[in-house]
Structure 1
Amino acid sequence: MNRNVILTCAVTGAGDTTGKNPNVPVTPRQIADSCIEAARAGASVAHIHVRDPETGGISHSTDHFREVMERVREADTDIVMNITAGGGGDWTPDSEDPTRGGPGTDIQTPAERHEPVGELLPELCTLDCGSLNFSDMVYINTAEWLREHARLVQQAGVKPELECFDLGHVWFARQLQQEGLIDGDPLYQLCLGIPWGAEADTETMLAMRNKLPDNADWAAFGIGRHQMPMVAQAMLLGGHARVGLEDNLMLKKGVMATNGQLVEKAGGIIENLGGRVMTPAETRERLKLRDPSTGKIVGGEA
């Protein structure tokens, strides 16, 4: 059991959720405000995507990421920032020519995915570790793309959060580590409940956890109604946790959530199980992250 829990809030995501819950933030200012709200509710880390401010749809704009980062850093509430680098992998076959991408296809090269991370140097960024039948589309991450992406993240000096949506992704993440493309102790995120990846249940989480390297830190999340049970399960199995409107829109049946409410609810579960949520400063120390105010690795070398 882990009694000192890093609690991440994934504040918006990139899915078609803005019409389902009015609390899902869209503009850079709204996303930054949600990060600050999560921090004040007790979150250790804010995980961010950005959206097109006009449509609420997918955006990869470095300028949008920059505005979010600057607004959060100027606030009086500290939180570790984790930028997604997993966008630009969505593919659906065209109905008339299945060799081409149809509506919803959004493909970027590893260099394009990395651009906001390389320019803004957040403390953390995601590195999705495989391809997946992601509901009705395919999420594409070839092995060579992932190696290239891992090298870019490594060269930038940003710690990757290794996103694993299935057991084979854990296997490949270990391979990246063996090839010297992951520095220090790795950080894994076990992503559960997304059709058609790893299921959100105890057996699946345990199987994935048991395949992690001995020196790994890890967290897990479940989507929808599985979100809070997976908070408890991850803590009990020795890991950290993630909540937020990217993964779940409801506080309880019939009640739309805010990011702050989800953080508070998860924090209550952690406390009721005899644990505590780590502060951002403690999180940087635990994970050996770069302090944004000094540029130095906390607990390590510059």
Structure 2
Amino acid sequence: MADKKVIITCAITGGIHTPSMSPYLPITPDEIAASAIEAADAGAAILHLHARDPENGAPASDPDLFAQFLPKINDATDAVINLTTGGGLTMTVEERLAGPLRFKPEMCSLNMGSMNFALHPLAEKKTDWKYDWEPAYLLGTKNGIFRNTFEDIEKIIERLGKDHGTRFEHECYDVGHLYNLAYFLDRKIIEPPFLIQTIFGVLGGMTAEWENLNFMKETADRLFGDAFEWSVLAAGRNQMPFVTNAASRGGHVRVGLEDSLYISRGVLAQSNAQQVRKVRKIIEELGLEIAKPNEVRQMLGLKGADLIDL
């Protein structure tokens, strides 16, 4: 059992689930701010944030929407603000970068490769849609590709990392993404320490099986040694079992309504904080401690909240 403190990341709303799937999904800027602050109070040291259109809940990239909730979160908590560079699956790279380039956060997510990011099976599970965009958005992923080419990744690292001191949550959905990351490390485009978020259970990426979790961890250890911090998230019903395993092995965890809408089998989570409290209890019952935001900043070499443009 490792004695390293465990980082809890909470992904507040994301761009995957739609409003019809849960009444508890934060949509408006006020809802996103309140949910993020509550999650931080519950123990989340990193807040992973997307924006949504407050009128219909669709994924949005307008920096003015981020501006309506980021200052509130920053004023109310010392948690690390982590903005998406993934945005929504139909956005261009420039649209996805609009918010991060304006606010220059301490962290951003960064998908380490292009992939078939398929959500279309979700459209088969719901027939009473609140908004017309929802089924069309989900079904469109059957013939869509989430783009992050080597050139895209390098530009994002250069424009945010080199120019503004932002560091990244390197999202790896498959083993090839780890090798892509190794390519950038070998060329000194990124430098340690860095956070690897290994992701399981998204159709088009690595499935949520224990053998895959072990393989991803073993591969990361072989490629990166002690240069990285390892975190795990799993979609849907695999969320809590997978993050529990990660914490017990010296890793970090990510929860939140972006990744799973549920708190237990068949029971919708009523807030992000409810998931944070649950995983925190698990971590502490394993005899481990959660990391505080300032400890996370030290672990990951972050620039500090005072250097964000809010």
TM-score, structure 1 normalization:
0.87
SS at match of 2:219: coil
Please give the residue correspondences for 1:75-114 in structure 2 after superposition, counting only pairs within 5 Å. Answer: 75=76, 77-87=77-87, 90=89, 106-109=90-93, 111-114=94-97
Match of 2:108 in 1: 125
Which has the higher relative contact order, 1 or 2, with Cα contacts under 8 A spaced 6 or more apart?
Answer: 2
AA paired with 1:59? A
Match of 1:150 in 2: 157
The alpha-carbon deviation at position 222 of structure 1 amounts to 0.5
1:206 and 2:214 are equivalent in the alignment: yes
Q: Which one has the bigger strand percentage?
A: 1
The alpha-carbon deviation at position 173 of structure 1 amounts to 0.9
Structure 1 gaps of 5+ residues are 91-105, 297-302
Q: Kindly provide the CA deviation profile for residues 198-219 of structure 1, in whole angstroms up to 9, marking residues without a partner as x.
A: 1122221221122221111120
Match of 1:166 in 2: 174
1:279 and 2:292 are equivalent in the alignment: yes
Match of 1:243 in 2: 255
Contact 2:82 2:107 in 1 (8 A): yes
Q: Kindly provide the CA deviation profile for residues 14-34 of structure 1, in whole angstroms up to 9, marking residues without a partner as x.
A: 123321111110011111111
Match of 1:27 in 2: 28
TM-score, structure 2 normalization:
0.85
The alpha-carbon deviation at position 79 of structure 1 amounts to 1.1
Q: Distance in 2 between matches of 1:263 and 1:37?
A: 9
> May I ask how many residue pairs the two structures share in their alignment?
277
Match of 1:52 in 2: 53
Contact 2:17 2:258 in 1 (8 A): no
Q: Distance in 2 between matches of 1:87 and 1:117?
A: 10
AA paired with 1:29? D
From 193, 197, 201, the equivalent of 2:205 is: 197
The alpha-carbon deviation at position 49 of structure 1 amounts to 0.7
Contact 1:153 1:160 in 2 (8 A): no
AA paired with 2:58? G
The alpha-carbon deviation at position 65 of structure 1 amounts to 1.5
Q: Distance in 2 between matches of 1:16 and 1:291?
A: 31
Farther off after superposition, 261-270 or 77-86: 77-86
1:266 and 2:279 are equivalent in the alignment: yes
Q: Distance in 2 between matches of 1:2 and 1:13?
A: 31
Match of 1:95 in 2: none
Q: Distance in 2 between matches of 1:107 and 1:59?
A: 9
The alpha-carbon deviation at position 274 of structure 1 amounts to 1.3
Q: Distance in 1 between matches of 2:266 and 2:234?
A: 19
Q: Which one has the bigger helix percentage?
A: 2
AA paired with 2:205? G
Q: Kindly provide the CA deviation profile for residues 97-148 of structure 1, in whole angstroms up to 9, marking residues without a partner as x.
A: xxxxxxxxx2413x44323212211111011111112123421222222222
AA paired with 1:52? D
Q: Distance in 1 between matches of 2:95 and 2:189?
A: 19
Q: Distance in 2 between matches of 1:81 and 1:9?
A: 10
SS at match of 1:8: strand
Match of 1:11 in 2: 12
Contact 2:112 2:177 in 1 (8 A): yes
Farther off after superposition, 51-60 or 134-143: 134-143
Structure 2 gaps of 5+ residues are 119-141
From 179, 182, 192, the equivalent of 1:184 is: 192
Contact 1:87 1:108 in 2 (8 A): no
The alpha-carbon deviation at position 37 of structure 1 amounts to 0.7
Q: Kindly provide the CA deviation profile for residues 144-164 of structure 1, in whole angstroms up to 9, marking residues without a partner as x.
A: 222222211222210011111
Q: Distance in 2 between matches of 1:40 and 1:205?
A: 30
Contact 1:2 1:240 in 2 (8 A): no
AA paired with 1:116? G
Identity %: 38
The alpha-carbon deviation at position 36 of structure 1 amounts to 0.2
The alpha-carbon deviation at position 179 of structure 1 amounts to 1.6
